[in-house]
Structure 1
Amino acid sequence: IAEESGWLPKWGYGTVETNIMTGDPVTPFLTNAYQQGLLKGYEERAYRVLKKNADGVPPAASPAVGREGNKEYLANGFVPYLKGRPHAKPGDSDYDHGASATLEYALSDAMLAQMARDLGHRQDAERYAARSRNYRTVFDSSTGFFRARDASGAFTGPADPAQSEGFHEGTSWQYQWLVPQDLPGMVGLIGGTRAANDRLDSFFAYDQLLADPAKTAREVWVNGPYDYYNADKYNPQNEPDL
């Protein structure tokens, strides 16, 4: 797709780029395929288009939206949450979900850094690894949670993480764990191992879960397809084995 259109898709549907969802889902998808050996013989070709996606923004003439918030992300370390900003292209916009987009970009940078390192692109690997720590730019120490920032850099939206804005299909409670590339750093921001464990217990309603697992899953956890907003509990959607 990238070699024909010039850019990687965000959510391709057949031959159409829908630009549905936000963040940078194509980078984890392709880097994971690389790690499993599924890109054998195409590693450098895949890396070139992933690098272009990670470092740029598709032009207005392209149907792809790509990393729409890259200009601000590369300059300031975060994608701003610009509520009500008109969409430049059909589909979703990273500016509607600046906080979660920042976390996703940072995770994608971490995965691309690993691929770059494996392929011998050492300078790229160091640059992407440094960017993978940008998750810290949206951490509000006054609340102890990730929080959206506006164009000026100020934290914006309700301080209550269960009411947070700027997160796609979730709240700061759900997105606080989206730092698999630096778990010690994430735990440190939360306040240490004990604080992180206490927060996990609250997130899963652990005491209630032990007392009545079925009732907790039905009535306490997020249980409706669009009930993830205004919530501070675990969302088991798309996990039928649970």
Structure 2
Amino acid sequence: PLVELLQPKLGNAFVQSLISKGEQGAWLPIFPCWNSYTAAMIGDHSTAFIASAYNKGIRDYDIQKAYQLMRKNAFEMPDSVDYLNGKGRRGINSYLKYGYIPMEDSIPNAFHKKEQVSRTLEYAFDDYALATIAKDLGKTEDFKVLEKRTLNYKNVFDTSVGMMRGRYKNGTWFEPFLADHREPYITEGTPRQYSFYAPQDVPGLVKLMGGPKKLENELDSLFNKQEYWHGNEPGHQIPFLYNFTASPWKTQLQVNKILNEEYDEGAGGLSGNDDAGQMSAWYVFASLGFYPVDPVSTFYEATTPAFNEVLVRFQNGKTLKIRKISGQKSKGYIEKIVFNGKTIKGYRLNHADLIRGGELTYYTF
């Protein structure tokens, strides 16, 4: 999303490269390295990248060709040779059959084996990404199927514990349940950390958890236990989820702490690998005062900017001045946000509005 905001021409070139790779190898790459296919990571996020660009108006490529490649990843199982060479979604047959990847499917042909719950959550997000394009292109039948699959995250949410959990083919849950331990069904994290991952349907996740107050309590618990791990990018949206509760000021509090505690200009200044620049992109977004909780959508969730004034120059020739006006004894909490003279309701900003330029002012107390 940061590339799409600041350098949409480069973002368009990325999409064209993904399509070219898909044409050359007959499959859209999932985690391309060394100009080759790999099964190194989970998810199918080339689809999410293309959908994000498309939804933000970056469209100088053949979207029909792109759609067919994305659809193939989402609906088809490669033959054995292609699968071994890293093409296609891992565990796709199980995912299509059960609506989640059960514990019995160990995903042997992958660098990250097992990790069934994390895969299910990532695939549900990618299905949502593809659904947004299917809807826009009038692919009605595909859209209906994908829209339903968007909610597959619910299939691995155990309401009895209020978190994501490994599940077997017969519907029973993995035992024992250890919320704060590394489990084989979670990628590089814990069930608690991954339980906040449904960026495509945060309101639905909130309801599943038990409502906004319950979400707030769960977020408080995560941060109080120091279980939030900024070094693992799938959790980067978590601090901004307070915007979906009655305490958005806690987003501003936690984001400010992360900016100051998790980044440094010296050796070891990042708390995790800067995978595809995401650690850095988070810092830039958070410093500007907004972040794409759902990167496929055209919306950002607001937080307090790090600087008193920033000027953003867009490739369309427009500029956006971001200002922070603080009261005499301000603690940095947002009182109101004004965009081009109009007060914003809530904490949501629109991509299309921002790239038209103007002035975005945060008043803090």
Q: Residue 28 of structure 1 corresponds to which residue in structure 2?
A: 48
Matched, 1:195 2:217: no
- Who is 1:140 aligned against? 158
Q: Which runs of 5+ in 2 are unaligned?
A: 1-20, 225-249, 263-269, 287-365
Alpha-carbon offset, residue 77 of structure 1 = 0.6
Cα pair distance change 1:86/1:55, threshold 3 Å: closer
CA contact (8 A) 1:99 1:167 kept: yes
Cα distance in 2 for residues equivalent to 1:86 and 1:193: 35
Pairing 1:111–2:111 present: no
Pick the structure with greater CA Rg.
2
Counterpart residue number, 2:266: none
Task: Give the secondary-structure state (helix, strand or coil) at the position aligned to 1:161.
Answer: coil
Report the number of matched residues. 221
Aligned-residue identity in percent: 33
CA distance in 2, matches of 1:186, 1:24: 21
Corresponding residue for 1:229? none
The TM-score normalised by the length of structure 1 is 0.80
What amino acid sits opposite 1:70 in the alignment?
I
The alpha-carbon deviation at position 86 of structure 1 amounts to 7.0
SS in 1 for 2:81: coil
The equivalent of 2:62 in structure 1 is: 42
Mapped contact 2:30–2:37 kept (Cα < 8 A): yes
Q: CA RMSD in A?
A: 2.8
Q: Which moved more, 1:144-153 or 1:106-115?
A: 144-153
Q: Which residue of 2 aligns with 1:77?
A: 99
Give 1:40 deviation, angstroms: 2.7
Instruction: Give me the whole-angstrom Cα distance separating, in 2, the residues matched to 1:240 and 1:133.
Output: 30
Q: Which among 90, 96, 105 is matched to residue 68 of structure 1?
A: 90
- Structure 1 distance, partners of 2:210, 2:144, is 27
CA distance in 2, matches of 1:182, 1:224: 28
Q: CA offset at residue 87 of structure 1?
A: 2.4
Identify the structure with bigger relative contact order (alpha carbons < 8 Å, sequence gap 6+).
1
Aligned to 1:92, the other structure's residue is in SS state coil
The match for 1:9 is 29
For 1:181, which of 176, 186, 200 is the aligned residue?
200
Counterpart pick for 2:186 among 146, 167, 174: 167
- After TM superposition, the score normalised by the length of structure 2 is 0.55
* Residues 64-73 or 41-50, more deviating: 64-73
Tell me how far 1:82 sits from its aligned partner.
4.4
Structure 1 residues 59 and 39, CA gap change in structure 2 (3 angstroms): farther
Amino acid corresponding to residue 87 of structure 1 in structure 2 = P
* Kept after mapping to 2: 8 A contact 1:161/1:173: yes
Q: Deviations over 1:156-175 (max 9, x none)?
A: 14312112521111112221
Read off the aligned partner of 2:121 and give its amino acid letter: L
Distance 1:72 1:132 in 2: 16
The secondary structure found in structure 2 opposite 1:16 is coil
Q: Does the 8 A contact of 1:98 with 1:148 survive in 2? A: yes
> Which residue is equivalent to 2:341?
none
| Alpha-carbon distance in structure 2 between the residues aligned to 1:225 and 1:72 | 31
2:109 aligned with 1:88, yes or no?
yes
| 8 Å Cα contact 1:57/1:65 also seen in 2 | no
CA distances 1:47-79 after superposition (whole Å, capped 9, x unpaired): 011011000122211112421111111111101
Match for residue 125 of structure 1?
A: 143
User: 1:18 — aligned with what?
Assistant: 38
Contact kept in structure 2, 1:11 and 1:19, CA below 8 Å:
yes
Distance 1:100 1:148 in 2: 9
